[in-house]
Amino acid sequence: MKTYNELHRPQFHFSARENWINDPNGLVYVDGVWHLFFQHNPEATIWGNMTWGHAVSHDLMHWRQLEHALLPDEHGTMFSGSAVVDHDNTAGFGAGSVLAFYTAAGDHVDPKRPYTQCLAYSNDGGSSWSKYDGNPIVESFEAGNRDPKVIWHPGSSHWIMALYLTANRYCLLRSKDARTWDRFQDLELEGVAECPDFFPLADESGSERWVFWGAKGIYRIGRFDGETFVPETDPLTCEHGTNGYAAQTWSNTPDGRCIQISWMAGGLYPEMPFNQQMSIPVELKLAGSGSKVRLTRWPVGEIETLRGKNIRLQTQQIRRGEPMVPATSASLLDVSFDVTNQNSKALHVVIRGQRLVLDWAASQIHFNASPVPKVTSDRPAIPLPGAKTLSLRLLIDKTSVEVFVNQGQMSASFCFLPDACINPLVLEAWDGEQTISHFHLHELTSVWEDSE
């Protein structure tokens, strides 16, 4: 059997050639190439022996896995981090060098050693890496402090590092040279831990706002002047579902795009040579302004290059016993439609035998896959607005479905194993009537077709 063609292998989501993966790391765009580093165990399909795996793409869809970038050393195993392009040679490794910031998990080498933050650099566009002789660049603040996310702040001419501390606590550090760092602000993000991200976006009024993000998709939006981050919203949630975790944005992206990818944590891949997968890359934007501003997530346009056969269906009413059944046998789908509820309690979207339930009565969408892998089970459902009409988009792969509501105002990742079915997609009304309109289905092609 060809690699990447196994029974439960995702066909348009990234997964490693073999063995365990988790958090995306070091996301950076360099000279036309998207780099995806990731937590990887090169020895087994379970977590452990963390290194930085490495894959590259020219289109965010077709990935080629390379040799490992960062291996464990005397400071510890290679935990999560980020990467940037040092255009102005602030760190002294050369203009255009790529800098990677990572956590060295010291207690995995010596139980008495703390977690510290370290630096590596590349002078060939991210193909090969050297670790900085002066590591660590940030000593331990608290046990388990980790996951440095670094971004350049032009207004203050400083590198800014967001770092996780413990519980729901984080801090910000700054540096002129990417090697010596000063801690200048502590932050809390209620209900979330690990994997911070910190990035600017323009709201609909054109004002620059800053997003502080935590691993569970909880974030706050505010202002940042290089000295202080001032939150202007309560904690908000954009990424829901049972499986989206540890999202990170790419740095140095072209055309001002803000592109993010998540680990789809906790999926099940029985007896496969690999374990776990990434989400589809999404583009982040801000909708609204002032205190009403919100983050939206939408699949990157590059996914349209995978589209093959398409099916459009006329507006129709569905009732109990009168489902909508598109004429497809494909397992890779990009589906969008609007649903208007007349008097029904729920819409069931049956995906390869598993039920995605739009529960009008409870004002939420949940996935009833069995067995249900729940890594982030405290936020499994998507809360729905009170409107009677909703717009949905579903990206369906071999072992996952990603849901986007109302042009990305809410989104969720769910992993599943398929159950017995006749049709891969069926829309059913639980009772009463619902109207399905603007139904458009695209069958997708595999990104692994030429892989061995």
Strand, coil or helix: what is 303?
A: helix
> How confident is the model over 261-293, as pLDDT tens digits?
999 999 999 999 999 999 999 999 999 999 899
Which tokens belong to 210?
Answer: 């800053």
User: Is the peptide bond preceding residue 371 cis, with omega within 30 degrees of 0?
Assistant: yes
Among all chains, which residue has been given the structure tokens 């002066």? Answer: 134
> How confident is the model over 181-197, as pLDDT tens digits?
999 999 999 999 999 99
Strand, coil or helix: what is 305?
A: helix
Confidence grade of residue 109 (pLDDT, cut at 50, 70, 90): confident
Residues 6 or more apart from 449 whose CB is under 8 A from it?
Answer: none
Compute the distance between CA of residue 436 and CA of residue 405 in angstroms, rounded to an integer: 15
Q: What is the pLDDT of residue 379?
A: 54
Q: What is the pLDDT of residue 214?
A: 97
Position with higher pLDDT, 238 vs 130 = 130
pTM: 0.96
Compute the distance between CA of residue 309 and CA of residue 284 in angstroms, rounded to an integer: 28
Catalytic residue chosen out of the listed positions 23, 86, 334, 397: 23
Q: Is 303-444 in CATH node 2.60.120.560?
A: yes
Q: What is the pLDDT of residue 387?
A: 82
pLDDT reading at 354 higher than 80:
yes
> How confident is the model over 146-173, as pLDDT tens digits?
999 999 999 999 999 999 999 999 999 9
Residue % of the chain over a pLDDT of 90:
91
The Cβ-side half-sphere exposure at 106, using a 13 Å CA radius, reads 18
Q: What is the pLDDT of residue 376?
A: 45
> How confident is the model over 301-323, as pLDDT tens digits?
999 999 999 999 999 999 999 99
Which tokens belong to 3?
Answer: 């690699």
Residues of the chain with CATH 2.60.120.560: 303-444
Residues of the chain with CATH 2.115.10.20: 19-296
CA dist 83 → 38, 79, 102, 322 (Å): 12, 13, 9, 52
The Cβ-side half-sphere exposure at 69, using a 13 Å CA radius, reads 37
Q: Is 19-296 in CATH node 2.115.10.20?
A: yes
Strand, coil or helix: what is 17?
A: coil
pLDDT reading at 368 higher than 90:
no
23 catalytic residue (yes or no): yes
> How confident is the model over 78-107, as pLDDT tens digits?
999 999 999 999 999 999 999 999 999 998
Calculate mean pLDDT across residues 236-242: 93
Residue % of the chain over a pLDDT of 70:
96
Q: What is the pLDDT of residue 384?
A: 84
Whole-number mean pLDDT of the chain?
94
